[in-house]
Structure 1
Amino acid sequence: MKKQKSPGDRIFISMVYVLMGLMGLICLYPMWHVVMASFSDPIELMRHTGVILKPLGFSLEGYRVVIENPNILPSYFNTIVYVLVGTAINMFLTILGAYALSRKGFMLEQPLTLLIVFTMYFNAGLIPNFLLVKGLGLYNTIWALVLPGAISTWNLIVMKTSFQSIPVSLEESARLDGANDFVILFKIILPLSKATMAVMVLFYAVAHWSSWFNAMIYLRDKSKFPLQLVMREILIANSSGGNSMMDTDAMFLEEIVKYSTIVVATVPILFIYPFAQKYFMSGVMMGSVKE
């Protein structure tokens, strides 16, 4: 029989819904503001102050400036390649490392884990990393963007903890049937860790999509630039710096180009979140808490 809620419970639940609704609006409004501003008329946008709930007039001028840039389509392709290749390498190495460190009886588990955690707090710095990448012959190649950060320490620890939460009895039964480590990993461990793996793929893919600093440091040819770095150059190129009458149009376009650039660079990766949402909470919690 369903227990009837008391008036106090109803008030508390209502307050929770109101609070969560307000927090949702606070989180969603900046995104809505950017999208509406990107479709606004440049002149009206410059004159307007305060919140924007709908486009101020209508104009696609900002998107025209962004899309007419000849580097946009190549940079989109480059970014997709970097995301796919980088995420595949990230997941492959993270899965192998997490599996090795999560096995009971592995003698080097503790010292290796300490060395891996050490990298979370200490870094050699930009110049040594640059010299290392150049010395290895990775400079101005895709590998300079995907290999130096091939494993995220935090993601490795989360996946390791997730693997450790799987009952050992399953592994022991498989070994009695003659299964080796590869069979145990790909036939038992990974199918039971789909939620954690989905979250790790999301984290790695978003990191590669949003990355621009490493590309600025390690890439020389503009034909290899990712989308975020090209977007950065568009923003810099459309920043007004003059006082002449010829700069008036650029001044009006500057603000709307910023909003259009944000939309073009952000919206594609946002479409991934709805597909991974159902795995997000369960995957993070499963890899964060060991029962």
Structure 2
Amino acid sequence: MIVTKWERFFNGINALLLVIIALTMFFPFLYIFTISFSSIESYLSNELLLWPEKFVTDAYRHILSNDRFIHSLGVTVYITVIGTLLNLLFTTTMAYGLSKSFYGQKAFMLGVLITFLFSAGIIPTYLVVRATGLLDTTWALMLPILISPWNLIIFRQFFRGIPEELSEAAHIDGAGELTIFRTIILPLSKPALATFGLFYAVAHWNSYFTGILYISDSSKWPIQVLLRQIVIVNDSNALQQQVLTNPPPAETIQMAAILLATVPILIVYPFLQKHFAKGVMLGSVKG
């Protein structure tokens, strides 16, 4: 294949733009990492640090020895794991049911599309959560977003693309729909499960507005709400337990808290990368 000079020029410009975008996204992480490991002298004497002059872990020891931070992190891990499992369970089962032909299927799909196009809003949702007794519980952070209409539609299209002959052969062998779904459909859906599982997990991990809206008990705050108090509100009482006699500067504590709240969800991606690359192509046009 012959590559013209204009194609090489175009590819070079694309590569340059991608490098610039990558550096733009990487720099905030580098800055957070640097400040979180810097001493108070280095922080105060330099307007811009690109690397710690001396690695100091006081901020991390201060945070990781704090019961409130560890508890909030545990709440977020619980919400992310249980919430993602529930999301996948209800999304896949409903999508599999709607991928079959039955009386009233169009009415059910119309209902899904309506919820996709129109949202009830914050106040009606809050009233429903309050009426069902979910306020100040972790279930309020999971059940209102149990099924994403968009993800359900993509899952439905994916299930419809699986050859029907596989299900028919299993029916001949005496397998029921639940057995077929569990032993045939789900194993073939690993790319979709990995992709949308990652989407659901990131949404649960990063959610803070629902925590502010539905959780008034600070002992049940997820990590993002506590992080908001530390970084944005600059609440000095957000971390009530003073572990060190001379605690590190508030700025280093803020940066360390951001890093500790971000890294765990980033670690998950490499384990799902193999399936994620296939899953992002779901719904694309096949030639």
Same fold by TM-score, threshold 0.5 exceeded?
A: yes
| Aligned equivalent of 1:179, options 171, 175, 182 | 175
Match of 2:145, SS state, is coil
| Aligned equivalent of 1:81, options 78, 81, 85 | 78
Cα drift, residue 43 of structure 1? 4.6
| Aligned equivalent of 1:93, options 90, 96, 103 | 90
Moved more, 57-66 or 25-34: 57-66
1:160/1:287 contact within 8 Å kept: no
CA distance in 2 between counterparts of 1:153 and 1:59 reads: 47
State the partner residue of 1:63. Answer: 60
Match of 1:123, SS state, is coil
Cα drift, residue 267 of structure 1? 0.7
State the partner residue of 1:280. Answer: 276
**Residue 152 (structure 1) aligned with residue 176 (structure 2):** no
Cα drift, residue 269 of structure 1? 0.9
| Aligned equivalent of 2:122, options 123, 126, 139 | 126
CA distance in 1 between counterparts of 2:36 and 2:127 reads: 41
Unaligned runs of 5+ in 2: 237-245
Identity %: 38
Which digits, 9 at most, give the CA deviation of each residue in 1:11-44, with x for residues without a partner?
6655554444443333322222221222123453
CA distance in 1 between counterparts of 2:11 and 2:215 reads: 53
What amino acid sits opposite 2:91 in the alignment?
Answer: T
State the partner residue of 1:199. Answer: 195
State the partner residue of 2:254. Answer: 258
TM-score (norm 2): 0.84
State the partner residue of 2:243. Answer: none
Question: Aligned pair in 2 of structure 1 residues 100, 64: CA closer, same or farther (>3 Å)?
Answer: same
Structure-to-structure mapping, 1:230-249, within 5 angstroms: 230-235=226-231, 236-238=233-235
1:36/1:54 contact within 8 Å kept: yes
State the partner residue of 2:38. Answer: 40
What amino acid sits opposite 1:257 in the alignment?
Answer: I
What amino acid sits opposite 1:207 in the alignment?
Answer: A
Cα drift, residue 78 of structure 1? 1.4
1:162/1:287 contact within 8 Å kept: yes
1:46/1:255 contact within 8 Å kept: no
Question: Aligned pair in 2 of structure 1 residues 43, 152: CA closer, same or farther (>3 Å)?
Answer: farther
Cα drift, residue 279 of structure 1? 1.6
Unaligned runs of 5+ in 1: 240-248
